[in-house]
Chains A and B, each alone.
Chain A
Amino acid sequence: MSFKPLIVASVLALAAALAPALLHAHAYPMVAVPPEGAVLRDSPREIRIQFTEGIELEFSHIDVKNAAGEKMNAGNLRRIADDTVAVAVKALAPGTYRIEWQVLSVDTHVTDGVLRFTVAGGK
């Protein structure tokens, strides 16, 4: 009795399960302050993100950039908790800002992404 068909079927099933899976990256931020798409009355003093896993500070960064692409960070990334990091920002003028983040998690995965928020500036 040959078991080749069973083995081949197993390999094909694994490939079929993995093919779409490999298109997905890790999904990361669990809570961001300010949250994605927020419209703020005043400039935030810092950007804080809690991730779904513990984070290594080395090789992780959060950059806040204005519409012209200028970096608006006012300090280095600092750890709040194993899975939470924050970075202070300069006083932000009214406008739209990008939070570009990249983190190395404790299980060796590197992920990145972008969040956006707007400072409206007064009523």
Chain B
Amino acid sequence: MLAIEGLVSAALYFTAALVLGSLATAAFVLPPGESPLRKQLISFAAMFTAAFLLIAAAALIVQGAKLSGGGLPSLDVLLRYVMKTQSGNVWLWREIYGALLLALLISFQNTDISERAGRWMVLAAIPLAASRSLTSHAAAAREYPLMAMACDAIHLTVAAVWAGGLPLLCWALWRGSRFATSPGWTGNLVARFSRLAFRSVVLLVSTGIFQSWIQVGTWDSLLETAYGRVLLLKLALFLMMLAFGALNRHFTLPDLIAAPHPAPFPRDAFQRIGAEAVLAIIVFVATGFLTILPPGAHSAHQLAAAPRFGVLTPAEGAAIKILSPRDGETLHGDEVPLKFRLTPGRRGTHAHAYVDGELMGMFETESGTLTGITPGHHALELRVVAGDHQTELDASDTVHFVVK
């Protein structure tokens, strides 16, 4: 189920990126006067929007299956999800918005639109990609949630423009170079895309750093959690994309500008730009899976939420004595019966039980059972704890026992 969810999530990201990429290529990358190509790109945007709506419908089924324990969801489950949950509401409004956008794009696909109108269309398509932020990890961020969502929305939008635009750039280069009438046409196209990509990368990096800080939090989380490791891989892929981008900007671009006309589009240049586009697709897959993994920061929160034991405060009359198990006793099975005598003193209310230094239980009465104790030699320490469940007093007792 997780793999399907990750793939559907990645497909949703990618199609939204293709919608924005098509429109951004039509509005910002194509030079003025390329009407047939621009019309074709708007048709592509309409097609990708339709695909987005279908994949979003599939995502709803996957979500319903999660809510139904893995089986095919009933209509009742889907309706409850869509109508009564925040993320379901976002899904519904995004589908309605997407359908309106599709109608707009279809109505304009055979029209000779101006660059200005094309830019308005880019603006209109942004919510399709950016609305993912409302149901992403950013929406659940514990710190700065509004800023996290805004950054996530910008991050998704500029990633869509750059990475979603690359396949469309490849198509425009392939298609347009066959009919180009001016020298350096392909070079001009790549130069315009390069400017757009550079601005996108600046925003991507700055928002990406903030997002990583919010979602990962610590170096340990980056290195030790699944989320952190996939994020590192995504970063490595992003750096490879940047390297290809730099290669294309500094080598491919001058070659294309200097190319005599008419010249077929160079195979090497096509491969380099194509490689950048394929890497972009892999980055989208990684991003899709990041959305289903628990952010690394959660593990830090869980640790941080645990009481900060270890610093003992004065006992103020509290004392504790372990009665069972006795020191040196041998026990059988994984359950250890526990008995102790607690003198609360001024502040003590209950006891924490540590086995080999690990907190294994909290006891408000003077007997209980420790479970899950593995065979071997163990040290059991009981500490008296104050009523706030946080303050451990300097009143403890330790015994050693063996489990066979």
Q: Which residues of A contact B (CB under 8 A)?
A: 1-3, 6-7, 10-11, 13-14, 17-18, 20-22, 24-27, 30-31, 34-35, 37-41, 50, 52-54, 56, 58-59, 83, 104-110, 118, 120-123
Contacts and interface: CB of A to CB of B under 8 A. Distances in A.
A123 B340 CA distance: 11
A77 B90 CA distance: 24
B380 interface: no
24 contacts: A3-B278, A7-B275, A18-B6, A18-B230, A24-B293, A26-B294, A27-B298, A30-B301, A37-B360, A37-B361, A37-B362, A37-B371, A39-B368, A39-B369, A52-B294, A53-B142, A54-B140, A56-B85, A104-B85, A106-B87, A106-B135, A109-B66, A110-B67, A121-B365
B367 interface: yes
Contacts of B368: 39, 118, 120
Contact of B271 (A3, A10, A38, A58): A3
Given A52-B298, A118-B368, A107 B140 contact: yes
Given A17-B230, A104-B85, A120 B140 contact: no
Interface residues of B, number: 58
B285 interface: yes
A17 B81 CA distance: 32
A20 B226 contact: yes
B272 A105 contact: no
Interface string B199-230: 00000000000000000000000000011011
A105 B159 CA distance: 26
Contacts of B237: 10, 14
A38 B364 contact: yes
Nearest to A31: B305
A103 B272 CA distance: 46
Interface in B128-151: 135-137, 139-140, 142
Contacts of B99: none
B379 to A, nearest CB: 18
Contacts of A1: 268, 271
A1, A22, A41: most-surrounded residue (chain B CB, <10 A): A22
A34 B368 CA distance: 15
B97 interface: no
